[in-house]
Amino acid sequence: MHNQQHLDTLTFSHQLYDEMPRELEFRATTIVEAEEWQQVLREKLIELVGGFPPTQCDLQPETLEIREFETYIRETVLFQSRPNMTTYGYFLTPTHIDISKPNATILCLAGHGRGLDDIVGIEEDGSMREEFGGYQNDFALQCLAHGYTVLAIEQFGFGHRRDAVSRERGGGSSSCQPSAGAALLLGQTMVGWRVYDAMRAYDYLATRSEVDMNRLGIMGISGGGTTSFFTTAIDQRVRAAVISGYFNTFKDSILSISHCIDNYIPNVLQYAEMYDIAGLIAPRALFVESGTEDTIFPIAATRASVERAKTIFKHFNAEDKLGFEVFEAGHSFYGVGAFEFLKQVL
């Protein structure tokens, strides 16, 4: 007699997940073991996302435009992240701070949608929004309002960095699927491509006298949360990360719910779950926020994953460096506890 469950593909995936031991899950008992584990898992993670170029190309930074607003200055900037790939971004300076002193600076990364413009208040017709809007709530402008200098870059496949077909489809269309698929065909990943852009963004910030390189943060929601999370796990220059609408378990979200293929890292579950990767951030700071009605990153799994990550942070005597806020809403940026947390750690 055939078991009807054997017709269910998700049941099959979960069974394989349950049977697969995570080779590099956190098992350390001492701080020395924990630090050695971090080094091994970080190297493996870089390998799993497809690795990074062995040599860095020249950034060739360029400023296209400078606009002054009532409370900040916005520079439109370009820099070369890889040969044949330019990164587009906005460098935002609050005008109410002393710009002669290097300032804490946050790299902001948008999620799926219209991309970069949608976190800095720019409408599709180029006009400026009068109040924070969209599911991302213009969080780059919120960072400015809290006194941070900001570099907001366009993620690979969104907004200003798309292929011709998605540009023709309009503002909200991304080229994630073909380009993330191309990355997999080439033995790389979209996660790796986007993380490397973020790493080169920090190289760019090192050229700016306005930036305090000892007080670097990162913030992102959804697909921007993905990149922020993995960038912080890999690049130890990042002192504090705010991850909105992403942190969960691979099992309950990426493996179980239909996501854009830019989320997928081949073989990652052979080595680690998401809470293990969070452990690469300790003893640096991590803040997670999640909505109770988020249908693609279920809140119960986020809670459980945060608890597992806490046990790793404890080994680094860094329990106070892991913050968590749940809010009553769907998949959106909240930013209440997050900014309080950043005030303490950055």
Q: What is the CATH number of the domain that holds 29?
A: 3.40.50.1820
Distance CA 90, CA 97 (A): 18
* Three-class secondary structure assignment of the chain: CCCHHHHCHHHHHHHHHHHCCCCCCCCCCCHHHHHHHHHHHHHHHHHHCCCCCCCCCCCCCEEEEEEECCCEEEEEEEEEEECCEEEEEEEEEECCCCCCCCEEEEEEECCCCCCHHHHCCECCCCCECCCCCCCCCCHHHHHHHCCCEEEEECCCCCCCCCCHHHHHHCCCCCCHHHHHHHHHHCCCCHHHHHHHHHHHHHHHHCCCCCEEEEEEEEEEECHHHHHHHHHHHHCCCCCEEEEECCCCCHHHHHCCCCCCHHHCCCCHHHCCCHHHHHCCCCCCEEEEEEECCCCCCCHHHHHHHHHHHHHHHHHCCCHHHEEEEEECCCCCCCCCHHHHHHHHHC
Q: Which residues contact 334 (CB under 8 A, 6 or more apart)?
A: 137, 244, 289, 291, 325, 327
Nearest-CA neighbor of 90 among 104, 70, 110? 110
pLDDT given at position 175: 78
User: Would you place residue 189 in the very low, low, confident or very high pLDDT band (cuts 50, 70, 90)?
Assistant: very high
Q: What is the mean pLDDT of the chain?
A: 95
Distance set, CA 183 to CA 110, 156, 174 (Å)? 20, 11, 15
In a domain, 339, yes or no: yes
How many percent of the chain have pLDDT more than 70?
A: 99
Residue 104, φ and ψ in degrees, nearest 5? -55, 135
Structure confidence at residue 1 as a pLDDT band (50, 70, 90):
low
- Using 50, 70 and 90 to split pLDDT, how confident is the model at 23? very high
Q: Write the Ramachandran bin of 259: left for phi over 0, alpha for psi from -120 to 50, otherwise beta.
A: beta
Question: Sorting pLDDT into bands at 50, 70 and 90, what band is 31?
Answer: very high
Task: Answer yes or no: is 2 within a domain.
Answer: no
The pLDDT tens digits for 83-118 are 999 999 999 999 988 878 999 999 999 999 899 999
- Compute the distance between CA of residue 308 and CA of residue 99 in angstroms, rounded to an integer: 41
Q: What pLDDT does 297 receive?
A: 97
pLDDT for residue 2: 67
Bridge-partner residues for 77, per DSSP? 63, 89
Does a structural domain hold residue 7? no
The pLDDT tens digits for 159-186 are 778 777 777 787 777 778 889 999 999 9
What's the number of domains the chain is made of?
A: 1
pLDDT of residue 159: 78
Indicate whether 34 belongs to any domain: yes
Whole-model pTM? 0.96
In a domain, 129, yes or no: no
Residue range(s) defining the domain that contains residue 254: 20-124+136-345
In a domain, 11, yes or no: no
Neighbours of 75 (CB within 10 A): 16
> Is residue 168 packed enough to be buried (19+ CB in 10 Å), middle (13-18) or exposed (0-12)?
exposed
- Two structure tokens written together for 240: 């504090």
Asked, for residue 12, whether it belongs to a domain, the answer is: no
Distance of CA 84 to the CA centre of its chain: 23
In a domain, 14, yes or no: no
